[in-house]
Structure 1
Amino acid sequence: MATLEGAEDHPAQRDSHTEMDSDEDPVLDAKSSNNLWELVEELALNNIEHFRTDESENGQRLYEGFQAFLEHLRNLRKIVPDVKQISPDFDFDSKVRGNGYRSFVMVVDACLVHCAELSRTICTKRDSTFFQKKRSMREVEAWGQVLASLTQLFEFLKRLHSWSEKGCLFPSDYHSPEELLLEATNLNQYCFYGRCLGFQFVNSMRRALKMVSLSMASFSEVYYNSGSIFSRTTQSILAGGRCWLDPEYRARRIVNLSQNATVDFCKSFWLLADSELLSQLPGVVCPAIAVNKVIAVPPEPLEMPKADSRGMVSIPIPTAHGDSRAIPCRLLSSHWREGMVSSKGENRKHMVLPTTSSLVIHCHGGGFIACTSASHEIYLREWAAKLEVPIFSIDYSLAPEAPYPRALEEVFYAYCWALRNAHLLGSTAERVVLVGDSAGGNLVNGITMKCIKLGVRIPTGIFLIYAPNLIQFIPSPSRLLCLMDPLLPFGVLMKCLKAYAGHTAEEPIFRQLQEESRLPLPIPNGSPKEVDEPNTILPVGQDMLKTSPGSGTCSPSDTESFVEVSESDMQDMATMASVSLSLASDPSPGDEKPELTSQEYVDDFLEKYVLDSETDSMGQKVHVVRAESLESDTDEHVLFEFPQDLSHSFSKRIGAAARSIKDTFTGWRSRGQPVLGIPVDRKRVSFPTLGKFPAMAANFDSLGPVSPAVEFKKFQVSRDPFISPYLASDDLLMKFPPTHLLTVHLDPCLDDCVMFAKRLRALNVQVALDILPEMLPHGFLNFSQSSKEAHAGSMECIQHIRILLGLLGTSAATP
């Protein structure tokens, strides 16, 4: 009888964190790979022969299932060597081996291990009285479908290779995604989300990904169904149980949701990470830190000295897609340090250390539409404890309420504010490292380019973690991984990019973008067309690089240049600002408003939204909370903590917020104290009703497959380098500071990282690319406390930050 010798130690099944030798190929060597193919085929033939004579219904289906399984296996085996042979041409170098072609070969290797294990199990148990033929039959059919879908994906890879020049993972001349994905209508995506969900990842991640998938299916019941809170919750529990027991149902629900759900659903689901329950998790499982507070950076006139010491430059106040507002940021530190912002007497129980010369500024991920610094505390807390350096994490505005360039404007302004007010963060900012994961990595590149263009001091180094560097709908091998990714399905990825940077055919700019889309993409050693200025998409009457009016400076002594608040109030203020962003029209060039100081900003907020005035017994005017703001919220059904209908939700819940802050606000107004401390009250998630959103009442379980190509109809993205840093000019990129990139083999953004690193290296920028050997997904940092492989990846990130800060040797990857 055939056995699984040699397959148990396959790299795809290793759970322990092992360092890959620099000369070790992440793909199986030819001998091991051939042995595995032969083993699976031998086991399949053995089972075919056994069930040939089984006359039961399930026995015959097992026989037919293994026949189809064997046919798909042989078809896949014919095409995999072609892709495996070309994969070395696209590696970063001989030591850093990784690209989308290699990733798919690794996916096949992982699939073969599972197929061999299934076939061996059936071989050993098929004669047992307790052998479950029906369950085994479904497993065999599921893995046969996976083999068939992988065969189709490898056909796509061969076509992509025919479109690309050697060394470039993106087509050198534009081929539309529709041209490739039009045939993907027949691709069976369901097989990747049912019984075989997450097979390509390490064991610890498979368990976590299954829970995420179950949660998404359950959440869809609450989100899209009408009825009372009780009925919605009941439906959610029943849907979760059905998804657990019926993998085929789960697969249909997840695929149909990713293809048909709105961006609001994706945003609401991801924002559950900021709910009251999950927000408490980092405090339980992560190391304790001395400082973890949210502060508000006000939209004040701000000037920065030029990097060449030849004057000052005014930093534009963020105003795109709405009025200016305070930018909430989170300060995390393992120690109290001199000058660090705190409430009166707050740090008396802690030892106060001198200021440090280092500072880490962080931009969180979330597809530009979701998440906050709070949801990324799961690894930021440990970073702060291990690095012993203050971390300043920026909570920028989210799409679709605040699309490009709002987030970029805010992170750049917050970066400049942090440099000017570093003493309030416990640092002298002699060495500053910008860190961003996923969408945050894209924004970090944007900050760096804006610093170069405006002549502002650039960071000491930047660290990009699985960052998208080319936000264009151009096919690449690693992007096809989205067709089987549980965390970042193709439809969800498209909705995120559309919400942040998309333009529809009805917009006047669309025809211009169509013309731009015909321009060829740069190859690593080429000099791309300068597209910085002409193609920058700006709101009417706005200029992304326009200096803000006013000449006020923010000197180091201006300790009142910000307001420290609790999370509840920053979330309320952010909600109010989101209302403004979604309802306010872009101001005309002649309607510029005078800038407010931090004192005026808070006064204006209180006067407009919370306070009223009365005359006390002494005849003096005092401020009190408005009576109408104390009305209770009685007609809104809320389960979680983020408002879907922002304007309605904020007007209702301001009363609840006013109750908790009445005494604080009144006392603060009378004393004129610069620091506010207000009790925590989390964001809420409101759910749409069928009356409001009739189009959302579709039965996702009955929908048929949708071709991925439909996502590209009437839609285009600007070739603005601030959206896609890979398209920036050589003159801009050659001025980048030392840049480190970290990603994983199964990341849909892997090719973005490889190609961006190649461009920087060709321009003699000091660059290091690290592709972790473990089979981890995009966004693994958010699972660092539930997966030991993900945690090891987080520790690797700390090492990169130490190198960039000059705290640990020097980078080995020099140009």
Structure 2
Amino acid sequence: MDHKDVFAALQMVCSDVILALNGSRSNSSNADATDRLLGVMRQIQEHGRAVEPLITGFTAVYHHFDLDAQTPGNGYRTLVKVVHSCVTNILQKACYIASNYSGAFFRMDHNMAEMEAYCSALCQLRALLYLAQILLNDNAHGQLYSQEQGGLSERFVEEYTSMHKACFYGRCLGFQFSPSLRPFLQTVVISMVSFGENYKKQQTGLGIAALSFFTSGKYVVDPELRGTEFERITQNLDMQFWKTFWNLTETGLLSSLTRIASTVVQVNVILTIPAVCLSLPLASDPSLSVSVNPPVAHWGPGPVKVRLISHTLRQGQDNAELLALSRPEGPQLSLPGGFSRQTAPLSPGLLIHFHGGGFVAQTSKSHENYLKSWSKDLNVPILSVDYSLAPEAPFPRALEECFYAYCWALKNCHLLGSTAERVCLVGDSAGGNLCITVSMRAMSLGVRVPDGIVAAYPATLLTTDASPSRLLTLIDPLLPLSVLYKCIDAYAGSSCQSVQPAQQIDTLAALGQDTVKLLTNFTQGATNWFQNLLEPKAAAASSSSTIPSNGPSPSKSHSEEKPQEVQEYPENFEPLRSRCLVDIHTPCTPIMKNPFVSPLLAPDSLLKGLPPVHIVASALDALLDDSVMFAKKLRNINQPVTLTVVEDLPHGFLSLFQLSKETQEASDICVKRIREVFQLEEQPADQRQPGLS
């Protein structure tokens, strides 16, 4: 339905409800609730009249910000889509009220509370549209991020801190997502607020979870209390609480439950890669070699843990050299003679995976369900890297460990069951960032780059710049702005208070000189690229490279004079304000603009030569604009890139692939892109092996 028809229907049904309630008001047994509902319906009408022209304006120009005509997707489109979803829900509920208000079983209090919640949501979305309008007016043509120092980025933090958000976590929770995911989102929010209530008590992680189960009932029956408490938790976010909550999925009991429903694989082992210097052939001249040192940042050389997953036992995977590094997980493998003697030949493909979790949480265990399914569907071994997490291990430790694991895998592919003729890097969120930066690191060192990258909803800009999709952090239960900023702050290292002690490794003395050389080259190179970004000419060139050359500009460009300040809201409008106020620490450090932290800011010279990059993003993800702008940047320098935007799914949908048809289909898109990298033929649907066994 066209948005004009939607808003016309909204006005009509609101008028019908108002007329009906006024006619029955004298006979109503609950006059107070009836009066409140009448007031809410009039407010909805007012918001609808104000929002419609805003939506019309965005609809007229949002196509200018797409990657191309075949790939519709950007934050402006998303804001329109979210408002449309909210209005659609209001229409459905209002139609129900108009048809059933006089029935014997009609609950006036309940329906009044429902409409109040959606009215509040529409009010706050109206405020986001005004903020997005400022972005549209101030930014250059095709530019989605506000890169002006301060400006709206700073203003949005102030608004986020003070604006009411509880309505999005109560009765309206997840209205913008696929209906099949809303029960899951409700479970997550209820679990989190219950967990938060018991977090400070002296219990183990599983003990807190068990106690939370018994205290969660009140949050089930009282959506307003749930929303208020979730807002309080996210406003006063404790990073250790967030890490502990998301790592609950890796406790023995919960991981055992998820393993029951997961694909059975023959190989699922943890490997500990020793910290030794590697020698790899130069990509440009295999007769020459380059030394790759183990990770050293913050506490010196140390081993790297990885997980090897293979649906079929392959040659090399039962090698004594590999077994010496391994520790089995799951009932399907025992050491050393538990392998079946029948082994499959080496696979020509090798998939190397970097998990998401905002650089601060989770491990390969959190992601093994879909990796097991992929190993079965693709018939390739998968190596997933358990890199060290922030804030204890900020940048560049994770990058160093992932790059070292990548190089080790190239050198020892025969132990992993592969010839590595084709190598694909895959990662989601933070892992997508690491896929790109590991490839950049490989190019800068002269090591073979992978044959392709598949990045799901990657974080390519770890700065606090505002964009239309990042405005969604006001309403997103999985990625609120406070969480995003905490993750950026932790990875950038500005909140790092302690690091692990230096590990005593036999090769430490031998690595001394190489370590100094590695750090010097890495730091100097990063500094040079950063300085290039700061130079006016380079900055202008970089900015122009992200701007399409065709089509008229739908918005004003920056001029030398500072544009006149735009009033955020009309004089007769003010968004609802929160009772839970707190100052959010805004990360601010030059490291955030380091190309190996924010690859979107990398100069063209550092991106040329990347393998084909396949991005799978979500239209409802706060990081959508990261994907769109990075794809534009690569295309403008003639780098091979594809962008697929899936609908109605939240950030992190890969970890939810078993929950709904939509998340399974999104996972299948990633598998299809990996097949393209491996140059495998698409498997017919009737022959495709099921994801569960």
TM-score, with structure 1 as normaliser: 0.70
1:169 corresponds in structure 2 to 144
Deviations 1:683-719 (A, max 9, x none): xxxxxxxxxxxxxxxxxxxx93337x74327666531
CA distance in 1, matches of 2:421, 2:622: 35
Q: How far is the alpha carbon of 1:349 from its aligned partner?
A: 3.0
Partner of 1:720: 594
Query: Is 1:330 aligned to residue 203 of structure 2?
Result: no
Task: Determine the C-alpha separation between the residues in 2 that align with 1:439 and 1:314.
Answer: 27
Structure 1 residue 351 corresponds to structure 2 residue 358: no
The yes-or-no answer on 1:316 pairing with 2:293 is yes
Asked if 1:704 corresponds to 2:579, the answer is yes
Q: Structure 1 residues 515 and 352, CA, compared in 2 at 3 Å: closer, same or farther?
A: closer
Which residue of the partner structure matches residue 178 of structure 2?
202
Alignment of 1:205-220 (within 5 A): 205-220=181-196
Matches within 5 A, 1:484-503: 484-503=475-494
The answer as to whether partners of 2:533 and 2:601 remain within 8 angstroms in 1 is no
- Structure 1 gaps of 5+ residues are 1-27, 528-702, 810-815
**Distance (whole Å) between structure 2 residues aligned to residue 370 and residue 768 of structure 1:** 28
Q: Which whole-Å CA distance do the structure 2 matches of 1:249 and 1:804 have between them?
A: 48
Which residue in the other structure is 2:8 paired with?
A: 38
Equivalent residue number for residue 118 of structure 2: 143
* Residues in 2 aligned to 1:184 and 1:349: alpha-carbon distance in whole angstroms: 57
1:416 and 2:436 correspond: no
Aligned to 1:805: 678
Mapped contact 1:51–1:63 kept (Cα < 8 A) = yes
Deviation for aligned residue 1:58:
1.1
Deviations 1:647-694 (A, max 9, x none): xxxxxxxxxxxxxxxxxxxxxxxxxxxxxxxxxxxxxxxxxxxxxxxx
- Structure 2 match to 1:252: 228
Instruction: Look up the match of 2:421.
Output: 430
The 10-residue stretch of structure 1 (423-432 or 337-346) with the greater mean CA deviation from structure 2: 337-346
C-alpha change, 1:718 and 1:786, in structure 2 (3 Å) is closer
Distance 1:38 1:493, change over 3 A: same
Q: 1:739 aligns with which of 608, 613, 616?
A: 613
Q: What does residue 17 of structure 2 align with?
A: 47
Q: Which residue is equivalent to 2:374?
A: 383
Distance 2:532 2:310 in 1: 49
C-alpha separation between the residues in 2 aligned to 1:80 and 1:149?
15
Change (3 A) 1:728 1:233: closer
Which of 59, 63, 74 is the matching residue for 1:88? 63
User: Closer, same or farther in 2 for the Cα pair 1:515/1:134, shift >3 Å?
Assistant: farther
Q: Which residue is 1:771 aligned to?
A: 645
Q: Does residue 374 in structure 1 map to residue 349 in structure 2?
A: no
- Which secondary structure does the structure 2 equivalent of 1:712 belong to? coil
Q: Say which is worse superposed, 389-398 or 496-505, in terms of deviation.
A: 496-505
Aligned-residue offset at 1:112: 1.6
Local SS of the residue matching 1:393: strand
Matches within 5 A, 1:499-514: 499-503=490-494
Counterparts of 1:616-695 in structure 2, within 5 Å, are none
Displacement of 1:168? 1.4
Name which of 271, 294, 318 aligns with 1:295.
271
Which residue of structure 2 aligns with residue 103 of structure 1? 78
Separation (CA, whole Å) in 1 of partners of 2:535 and 2:118: 40
Q: Which residue of 1 aligns with 2:455?
A: 464
Structure 2: distance between partners of 1:162 and 1:405: 37
Q: Does residue 1:277 correspond to 2:253, yes or no?
A: yes
**Residues 1:364 and 1:524: Cα distance change in structure 2 (over 3 Å):** farther
Give the distance between the partners of 1:172 and 1:725, measured in 2 at CA.
Answer: 15
Letter in 2 for 1:42: M
- Per the alignment, residue 407 of structure 1 pairs with 398
Q: Which residue of 2 aligns with 1:267?
A: 243
Matched residues in 1 for 2:102 and 2:341: separation?
A: 68
CA distance in 2, matches of 1:514, 1:255: 40
Structure richer in helix, relative to its length: 2
Q: 1:221 to 1:526 in 2, by over 3 A?
A: closer
* Alignment partners' CA distance in 2, 1:394 and 1:234: 30
Alpha-carbon distance, 1:357 to partner: 1.1
**Is the Cα contact below 8 Å between 2:489 and 2:587 reproduced in 1?**
no
SS of residue matched to 2:423? strand
AA paired with 2:419? T
Distance across 1 between alignment mates of 2:589 and 2:45: 41
Aligned match for 1:58, one of 19, 25, 33: 33
> Is residue 111–residue 199 contact of structure 1 (8 Å, CA) maintained in 2?
yes
Letter in 2 for 1:523: S
Residues 304 and 714 of structure 1, relative CA distance in 2, 3 Å threshold: closer
**1:327, distance to aligned residue in structure 2 (A):** 1.2
Residue pairs, 1:231-250, within 5 angstroms:
236-250=212-226
- Flag the 1:780–1:231 CA change in 2: closer, same or farther, 3 A: closer
AA at the equivalent of 1:438: S
1:474-526 per-residue CA deviation (whole Å, 9 max, x = no partner) reads: 001111111111111111111111111143799xx9xx999988975833626
> 2:685 matched to which residue of 1?
none
Q: 1:523 aligns with which of 543, 565, 576?
A: 543
Which of 480, 503, 521 is residue 471 of structure 2 equivalent to? 480
Query: How far did 1:322 drift?
Result: 1.1
Q: Secondary structure in 2 aligned to 1:740? A: strand
Write out per-residue CA displacement over residues 250-275 of structure 1, whole angstroms, 9 at most, x where no aligned residue: 11111111110211111111111111
Residue 360 of structure 1 deviates from its aligned partner by 0.3
C-alpha separation in 1, matches of 2:302 and 2:201 = 35
- List per-residue Cα deviations over 1:555-579 (Å, max 9, x = no partner): xxxxxxxxxxxxxxxxxxxxxxxxx
Shift of 1:48: 1.0
Q: Quick check: 2:356–2:432 contact (8 Å CA) kept in 1?
A: yes
- Cα distance change, pair 254–737 in 1 and its aligned pair in 2 (3 A): same
Does the CA contact (< 8 Å) of 2:4 and 2:52 recur in 1?
A: no
Match of 1:711, SS? coil
Alpha-carbon distance in 1 for matches of 2:531, 2:240: 27
Give the CA deviation at 1:52: 2.5
Q: Which amino acid aligns with 2:44?
A: F
Q: Which blocks of at least 5 consecutive residues in structure 2 are unaligned? A: 324-334, 498-522, 548-577, 683-693
Provide the C-alpha distance between the structure 1 equivalents of 2:481 and 2:206, rounded to a whole number of angstroms.
33
Where 1:165 maps in the other structure, the secondary structure is: coil
> Which residue identity lines up with residue 434 of structure 1 in the other structure?
L
Amino acid of the structure 1 residue aligned with 2:603: S
Partners of 2:488 and 2:587 within 8 A in 1: no
User: Deviations 1:410-443 (Å, cap 9, x if unpaired)?
Assistant: 0000000000000000001111001111000101
Partners of 1:459 and 1:228 in 2: how far apart? 42
Partner Cα distance (1:505, 1:284) in 2: 38
Equivalent residues in 2 for 1:582-597, closer than 5 Å: none
Cα gap change, 1:223/1:184 in structure 2, threshold over 3 Å: closer, same or farther? closer
**2:392–2:496 CA contact under 8 A, matched in 1:** no
Q: Quick check: 1:761 aligned with 2:659?
A: no
1:95 Cα offset (Å): 0.2
C-alpha distance in structure 2 between counterparts of 1:486 and 1:504, whole Å? 24
Distance 2:172 2:206 in 1: 33
Q: Secondary structure of the residue that 1:224 maps to in structure 2?
A: coil
- Is contact 1:168–1:524 with CA below 8 Å preserved after alignment? no
The structure with the largest alpha-carbon Rg is 1
Give the match for residue 665 of structure 2. 792
Identify if the C-alpha distance between structure 1 residues 390 and 362 changes in structure 2 by more than 3 Å, giving closer, same or farther: same
Aligned-residue identity in percent: 38
Distance change in 2, residues 1:95/1:713 (3 Å): closer
Q: Which residue of 2 aligns with 1:630?
A: none
Change in CA separation of 1:71 and 1:764 when aligned onto 2, cut-off 3 Å = same
